[in-house]
Amino acid sequence: MNKTVIITGASSGIGKACAKRFAKESWQLVLTARRTEKLAAIKAQLESEYGIKVFTLTQDVRNENSGNDLVAFLKQHNIQPDLLINNAGLAVGTNPLQEGIVDDWERMIDTNVKGLLYISRAIAPMMIAQQRGHIINIGSIAGKEVYGGGNVYCATKHAVDALTKAMRIDLLPHGIRVSQVAPGAAETEFSIVRFKGDEQRAKNVYKGIEPLAGGDIADAIWYVANTPPHVNINDLVITCTNQANATTFYRNEN
Ligand code: NDP
Ligand code: 8X3
């Protein structure tokens, strides 16, 4: 039987690229995000291109019931998840802390930390009951280092880093694998969201470099998900060749 992956935040960027990567390998997909029409378009395209089944669920991971709603959806469709990719997330704003906007902070904390917790709290018991499963959390190089203007976003990704380690310990006796994939700069909708729709400013982030594309990260996630059952990649930091760490880039300005 085909395996099933749940991907949160699958309507764009890394999540969408993962949907395509796993579809190509004939996995069944459960895709979630807030934008229904984007999910519907991805479902139509992947079902017709790869002949697989794609389930979509419109949801906001910030909702405390998001995890329970997802489990109810899976049970309704008789789906047993083999893999959960906790990908939904965002950065909003780059203000220094002393000028921070509380609503920006709450959006990041509620999505990147609490959303990941709500989904994991609900899906992990299903995996324990079925005695198999793997959770891959999408962290960031911002969860390894901090940079100017990154304050709360970096804190949320440091929390993902810590929670990944904690979940691995908690789920160890149940044979559930827990991994983190931590990308550097990837050109998706990420910077447009961070800069609140300022597309020019978003473009400048990638000026003079060849950034990661969603597909590069999806390939890495595919590898992490497909090691032999006795092997677990705990943590994978991935940057483009033009990026050495969170703040050091080699830019070709010509
Ligand atoms: P995108 O903005 O392209 O994608 C973000 C995805 O998350 C979208 O599908 C969005 O869907 C979803 N999402 C955002 N908020 C919510 C919410 N409240 N509930 C449900 N879904 C939500 O960015 P990326 O693909 O780049 O980001 C994916 C992950 O990768 C994030 O966790 C990000 O922090 C991380 N990351 C990104 C890097 C980069 O440079 N791009 C580098 C390192 C990590 P919708 O709006 O439809 O809800
Ligand atoms: C996204 C990458 O470096 O902008 O997590 O924080 S970075």
Atom of ligand 2 nearest to the CA of 140: 5
In the set 50, 118, 153, 206, the catalytic residue is 153
* DSSP of 107-163: HHIIIIIIIHHHHHHHHHHHHHHHT--EEEEE--GGGT---TT-HHHHHHHHHHHHH
pLDDT at position 1 is 75
Q: What global pTM score does this model have?
A: 0.99
Atom of ligand 1 nearest to the CA of 60: 19
35 lines ligand 1 (CB under 6 A): yes
CA 86–ligand 1 middle distance (angstroms):
10
Active site residue 153: yes
89 lines ligand 1 (CB under 6 A): yes
Q: Which CATH architecture has domain 4-238?
A: 3-Layer(aba) Sandwich (3.40)
In DSSP terms, which residues pair with 7 in a beta bridge?
31, 85
34 lines ligand 1 (CB under 6 A): yes
pLDDT at position 253 is 82
Give the separation between CA 139 and CA 213, rounded to whole angstroms: 16
Query: What count of Cα atoms within 13 Å lies in the side-chain half-sphere of residue 58?
Result: 8
Low-confidence ranges of the chain (pLDDT < 50): none
CA 145–ligand 2 middle distance (angstroms):
10
Give 37's DSSP letter: H
47 lines ligand 1 (CB under 6 A): no
pLDDT at position 254 is 72
Give the separation between CA 56 and CA 39, rounded to whole angstroms: 6
Sign of the four-CA dihedral 77, 227, 47, 139: positive
Atom of ligand 2 nearest to the CA of 184: 2
pLDDT tens, 102-159? 999 999 999 999 999 999 999 999 999 999 999 999 999 999 999 999 999 999 999 9
Looking at the CA of 57, name the nearest ligand.
Answer: 1
pLDDT at position 154 is 99
